[in-house]
Amino acid sequence: MAKNSLIGGSIWEAYSQKVQDLMNHPRNMGEITEEQAKKMGGKLVVADFGAESCGDAVRLYWVVDEKTDVILDAKFKSFGCGTAIASSDTMAELCKGKTVSEAVKITNIDVEHAMRDNDETPAVPPQKMHCSVMAYDVIKAAAASYKGVDASSFEDEIIVCECARVSLGTIKDVIKINDLKSVEEITNYTKAGAFCKSCIKPGGHEDREYYLVDILRDTRAEMEHAKLSALADAKVNGGGGVDFADMTVVQKFKEIEAVIDENIRPMLAMDGGNLEILDIKDSEKNTDVYIRYLGACSGCASGFSGTLYAIESILQDKVSPTIRVLPV
């Protein structure tokens, strides 16, 4: 299919050249028979996975050396769109030469990254990311068939979206890698929350342990903390070279206040919030900093989770690891 044969070139710009090439010329599409597997000296493994929500399906063929568990060859059949073909082809290529246990660790993020033309530009538009998730799931199905176990035994992370089988780790990685700022963007990239919607926020037809709104909030707070830490030139030292543990309460207040002014208040101000230091108390092991949130922060649940973690981490990094931040 030529680049502009069906639709405008502007749409194709959202797909990497690698993806476009694999749509038209997949390297690993086809079947492997029992006879072919025997000639290679391996066991044939066949696994299927289908996404009922979008109608796509993929069949994966492995030839596995039973002495070493190494995947000698891999092919696939894909019943779906061009992106599903490209993702499945890349997935099959990534499996070759790996042991079954190593192949199970291949994620949909790995598949998407392998299809990129460069590290910075996504290989496919957000709404097509679910195709790489399907490739990830069929690997687990093949490994489960080979090992004679249930595919769920390979899950080493909590599944947040059962419909699209998207894990907590995958959601956090996608938020960080693509700088996502909304639940809608998470859904576009991973399909999490696209179907029954119970994982988006409390109140759906099924209660969940983790919700996308909370994961987004806490992950964004972690990202902001990392950004502020990286931009800081050096630890602020307002005590004239005196070790923090030996400072007076007034000196500690100035030290902490200076870091808050430079690294924390700008972060809070972006959301219409602020804070003030109410008291500083030393205990045997810690310096407890009592704060009160102001403005929009005063009623925000993140003030006791993600935002609090970010504030405490910055102060521990730039002032003293003994600091504890306690909101009042």
pTM value is 0.51
Task: List domains and CATH numbers for the chain.
Answer: 1-156 (3.90.1010.10), 158-230 (no CATH), 232-327 (3.30.300.130)
Q: Which residues are catalytic?
A: 54, 131
pLDDT score, position 301:
78
Q: Cα dist. 44→5, 64, 72, 104 in Å?
A: 39, 7, 10, 17
pLDDT score, position 42:
97
Give 9-50 pLDDT, tens digit per residue: 557 788 999 999 999 999 999 999 999 999 999 999 999 987
Residue 292 is encoded by which pair of tokens? 């009160």
Ranges of the chain with pLDDT below 70: 1-10, 51-55, 127, 130, 155-157, 229-242
pLDDT score, position 233:
46
